[in-house]
Structure 1
Amino acid sequence: MALGLFRVCLVVVTAIINHPLLFPRENTTVPENEEGIIRQMQARQEELQLEQLRLEEEVARLAAEKEALEEAAEEAGPQGEAHASWDLWSTLCMILFLMIEVWRQDHQDAPSPECPGGDEDELPALGGAPLQGLTLPDKATLGRFHERCIRGATADAARTREFVEGFVDDLLEALRSLCNRDTDMEVEDFIGVGSMYENWQVDRPLVCDLFVPFVPPEPYRFRAELWCSGRSVPLDCQGFGQIKVVQGDDDTPGCICDKTKLGEDMLCLLHGKNSLVRPGAKMEDLLCAKTSPYVDTMQVMKWFQTALTRAWHRIARKYDFDLAFGQLDMPGSLKIKFRSGKFMPFNLIPVIQCEDSDLYFVSHLPKGPSPWSPASSMDWLLSFAVYERHFLRVMSKALPEGACHLSCLQIASFLLSKQSRLTGPSGLCSYHLKTVLLHLLLARQAADWTAGQLDMRLHDLLRFLEKSLQEKKLHHFFIGNRRVPEVAGLPEAIRRAEPLNLFRPFILQRGLYRKTVDSFYEMLKNAPALISEYSLHLPSDHTSLPPKAAVL
């Protein structure tokens, strides 16, 4: 009897110590990535399986003891029945301990990546459906606000683009004249992307984003390896790719003279007879990571900044202004500084074309909140900026004259920008707003986007964004979206890929999610007063840009 009582007390004490409410676990933080969650879940599963086997052995042993006790009870009478009852209590306590442990795992472990809708209780309580209880300004106020504050402030966008493009043409031409065709990159013509070329830029100063594609010298080429090309990649690498330097159709870099035995009367035109140096060795040292054939974004940044500096020194005497780098950790963040003290920023972004499509791998993105964070310097973001610009252009032709789709995006982007200045940046950025608009353009009829429906479509955009925040799920518009028309020309691998959740960071980073949601609802509360105030007068931060600089 004493042994049975001791076993019962031991089980009860163990259950109390493991109870999550009395003695919570110290390490309850969520891992910073989904890989850590998966490894943790697998380790926990193995522990539970071992625990299950141990309990099954314990139950089998208890059953054997019970049979032995029953046989002894027939001989010992009442004393045997007492021992059997204590073993029964021991078994019940073991079951209770197992139930407590299972409950703890279900309620305190981190949510699985496949359940992005968790933590709904973290949303602030604003009457169930905040947008239903929030009165946005009427369409007349919105129209007056857009006409006076946004359209008036961006009236010189066309002149800004013209000046920047003319200067960049001259800068890239100087860069090409300094390049050696045998060892240096070949720089192609720039491509205008982003809000300035999609006609919804609202932030001041106006900034042009220009893609600058580059290719290696012959016989080398870049070979793209997408995350959806069949190779196994971590979840945080989805939407990215790596770029390998190869020669022709061969994966192994090197000159043909390294692989073929030349005759005595034959020379390599690149190396000579006895040279062992490959023509691409300098190029690999320039762009690739050490001991790796993959292009490194940090190496590209160093090469590009050096090339731009040399090109500017070649043409600086022609211009009556100075050129400087705006951000040293961005490869082509440039700033034109006029003699008057005013400046004009723009971004030259080195990119690599993905096969024969309009997809481009981007080394760095401009500063600011972004849903993209590469895992390593060899991961390149796959940009759909050219497809997005083309899709908006096609939709604008199909919509009624004076459609309000871009006006909705401009107003929402304006509100988000002002809120970010007030409370600091959050997890939301203008790319999320544009993604919501692209989804709505496919979901609604063309007749729903007339100018008179500006207030309703703005309400739809904000409701869509709110629902996406609640579910922690906003799918990329192009990746895995079968509703995108085939005339868009997306590669089949992108159409067949699994949808990419742009709100995936919110699943793991609870602090960022809470701050983003709070900032979003604060933006909604401030929207009516902000729009009314800006409709009455233009604040001082909406003065016009400097006039076009003179060219000597």
Structure 2
Amino acid sequence: MNLAFVLALLVQNVHQVGEVFDAATRDRMRQRELYLSEKMAQLLLEIEQKNMEQSRAGRRALLPAVLQSWKVWAAVCLLVLLVWVVRKLHQKYQRMKKSSGKEGSGSEEEEEEKEDFEGLLHAGIQPPVNDLAHKCRAMHCLVSKLLNSCRILLSDSFYPVPQPPIGVGSAYEGWCPREDDPVFCLLVPLTAPRGHTFHLELGTARELPARNSRIRVELECTCRTEEETGVLCFLHNTEDRLGKQPPSLLHTLCTGGYLDAEKIARWFPVLIQDAWRRMPESARCRINVQPCSRSCRLHVIDGFNRIFIIEMMFGVRQHRTDIFLSSHKIEGIVIPSTTWPQSCAVAEAKFFRHIAAHAREDSFHLRCMQVWACLLVGDNISVYEVKTAVMHLLTVFPMEHWRARHFLQRMHDILWYLRCCLEERSLEHFLIGNEAVPAEIILPRDFRVSRPLNLFQRLEQEPDNHVRAECELDELPDQFTRLLISQQWQTSTCPQTSFS
């Protein structure tokens, strides 16, 4: 550009001074102008050619990347085309199959209904979401912190010591019927305070699980540790000296020397409220404690005014097994305050965790149990009895046979199993006398060697209830179909499982 500017300036000067030169000089100047113009044009042409060569070199460098990108897109387009072709072939095969079925048996309407039903099945029933599991962990964590605060408050007293909670019931087993409004049930194990021991007295009727068990509280000698702990021995000190320290458990939460479940249920809410005030979570949430006759119920209200219901029952572990003597009330039976029936709730929750550890992610065994819990609205077949049947079948069919495509068949198997049990008036308890119980579930020796408990034994003495139970079972297939069509079972109000 600078060279062109100079040449232009020279040409302008030539025209300006051209008038003062003679003709010969002007000819020489004109020739010189033509020569310089040719040189300028040649120079500009060389510059342009050089730029074009540089541009071609850049395009050649970019060409491999462009070609590679083109190959990728070509592969994607080819894959999409293959998927489309396979889908068209599959649709054509299905139409040919329907046509042949129509010519052979005339069952086109049945095939269409089956296809619609299976589509509805997969659209309306999805595997349980992890939201319930997340809530269960959150409630368990909250109660664990709360009980830890309680233990700090009880460090200088002689009340029962609450241990970390154990999740039980339908929510912690994974099949809660009411996923939107579950009740988080937690068993709080109790251990004896210093200077005390618990002696478990099982029922004398030799029934399992025992209903008439009691927990006898005895004092033990602590003379050797008096100087170290500063706690006086309740057995070998006078009442005057003992008056300086808190009273023993026998004088607070016992009746006739036996641990009183109703007294514990009245004492525990006060302890919970005192411990909650010392927790940092109390600044973000609030709780309402609702005492029950033999348990404690909490309403936890978070910052979004969502309410979570936690029910805590108390228990004393039977030796080192997964069986507890529990404070939970047996439905329909009035029991004394010092009676602690045996509970299998912890062992049953452990069984479902064992199954979950061996199941695939798309396993539908929990959904089967959930649907059955929503279907049962009668009084003659309980949710616990259906859960027992499902537990038996979970040890019969391998876990790979509980996937989504087996859902209808497994539901039919559960119905068939219950119908056979009703006809024979015999449904065996899963944990008693059953060799199929996983070895990791620790049971007392009596549970393993005893004859199985018949949960349908009552039907032998109640013929009318047996007939009504059979009628209820016969109506379940129609209820199941209506439930799938309406898709109301995901939010409907359903009965909860028992803890027995």
Q: TM-score, normalised on structure 1?
A: 0.58
How far is 1:440 from its partner?
0.7
8 Å Cα contact 1:327-1:333 kept in structure 2 = yes
Cross-structure match for 1:113: none
Shift of 1:371: 6.7
SS in 2 for 1:463: helix
Structure-2 separation of matches of 1:318 and 1:256: 38
Distance 1:330 1:299 in 2: 8
Which residue, out of 269, 279, 286, partners 2:232?
269
Change (3 A) 1:507 1:385: same
Q: Deviations over 1:418-467 (max 9, x none)?
A: xx3xxxx6243332222111111222344433331111111111222233
Q: What letter is aligned with 2:407?
A: L
Match of 2:124 in 1: 145
> What is aligned with 1:480?
433
Q: 2:263 aligns with which of 299, 302, 306?
A: 299
Deviation at 1:343, TM superposition (A): 1.6
1:413 and 2:373 are equivalent in the alignment? yes
Shift in alpha-carbon separation, 1:375–1:339, aligned structure 2, 3 A: same
| Aligned equivalent of 1:219, options 174, 195, 205 | 195
* Cross-structure match for 1:288: 254
Pairing 1:169-318 to 2, within 5 Å after superposition: 169-203=144-178, 204-227=180-203, 232-233=204-205, 238-240=209-211, 242-247=213-218, 253=219, 269-270=232-233, 274-275=238-239, 282-289=248-255, 291=256, 293-315=257-279, 318=282
275-284 or 494-503: bigger deviation: 275-284
SS of 1:443's partner is: coil
Q: CA RMSD in A?
A: 3.7
CA pair 216-268 structure 1, distance change in 2 beyond 3 A? closer
Q: What letter corresponds to residue 437 of structure 2 in structure 1?
A: V
Give the Å deviation of 1:270: 3.7
AA at the equivalent of 1:503: F
- The residue that corresponds to 1:465 in the other structure is 418
Q: Does 1:437 align with 2:420?
A: no
Structure 1 counterpart of 2:254, one-letter code: C
- Equivalents in 1 of 2:439, 2:453: separation in Å? 19
1:242–1:522 Cα change, 3 Å: same
Q: Deviations over 1:172-205 (max 9, x none)?
A: 1222222144412111111122222222223140
**Which deviations, in whole Å up to 9, do the C-alpha atoms of 1:235-292 show, x marking residues without a partner?**
6x75335233344xxxxx46578xxxxxxxxx99346853376999641233332x3x
The 1-side partners of 2:390 and 2:115 are apart by 18
Larger Rg: 2
Question: How far off is 1:298 after superposition?
Answer: 1.8
Aligned residues: 372
C-alpha contact (below 8 Å) 1:286/1:303 kept by paired residues = no
Whole-Å Cα distance in 2 between the matches of residues 433 and 242 of structure 1?
A: 26
Q: Distance in 2 between matches of 1:188 and 1:515?
A: 44
Q: Which one scores higher on RCO, CA 8 angstroms, separation ≥ 6?
A: 1
Question: How much has 1:364 moved relative to structure 2?
Answer: 1.3
Residues 1:221 and 1:206: Cα distance change in structure 2 (over 3 Å): same
CA distance in 2, matches of 1:401, 1:155: 11
Which amino acid in 2 is paired with 1:391?
F
Give the match's secondary structure for 1:438.
Answer: helix
Specify whether residues 287 and 448 from structure 1 end up closer, same or farther in structure 2 by C-alpha distance, changes over 3 A only: same
Counterpart of 2:342 in 1: which secondary structure? strand
Deviations 1:136-163 (A, max 9, x none): 995543333221xx73xx5421332243
Equivalent residues of 1:305, 1:331 under 8 A apart = no
Write out per-residue CA displacement over residues 8-58 of structure 1, whole angstroms, 9 at most, x where no aligned residue: xxxxxxxxxxxxxxxxxxxxxxxxxxxxxxxxxxxxxxxxxxxxxxxxxxx
Q: Name the CA shift for 1:336/1:317 in 2 (closer, same or farther; >3 Å).
A: closer
> In the superposition, relative to structure 1, how do residues 191 and 457 fare at CA in structure 2: closer, same or farther (>3 Å)?
same
CA positional deviation for 1:538: 7.2
2-structure distance, mates of 1:526, 1:361:
38
TM-score, normalised by the number of residues in structure 2? 0.64
Give the corresponding residue for 1:325.
Answer: 289
Q: 1:540 to 1:426 in 2, by over 3 A?
A: closer
Shift, 1:344, TM fit? 1.4
Cα distance in 2 for residues equivalent to 1:523 and 1:193: 27
Amino acid at match of 1:143: H
Alpha-carbon shift at residue 331 of structure 1 (Å):
1.7
2:184 partner amino acid: C
Aligned residue for 2:132?
A: 157
Q: Where do 1:296-375 residues align within 5 Å?
A: 296-315=260-279, 318-326=282-290, 328-338=292-302, 342-365=306-329, 373=333, 375=335
| Structure 1: distance between partners of 2:116 and 2:259 | 50
Instruction: Report sequence identity in percent.
Output: 24
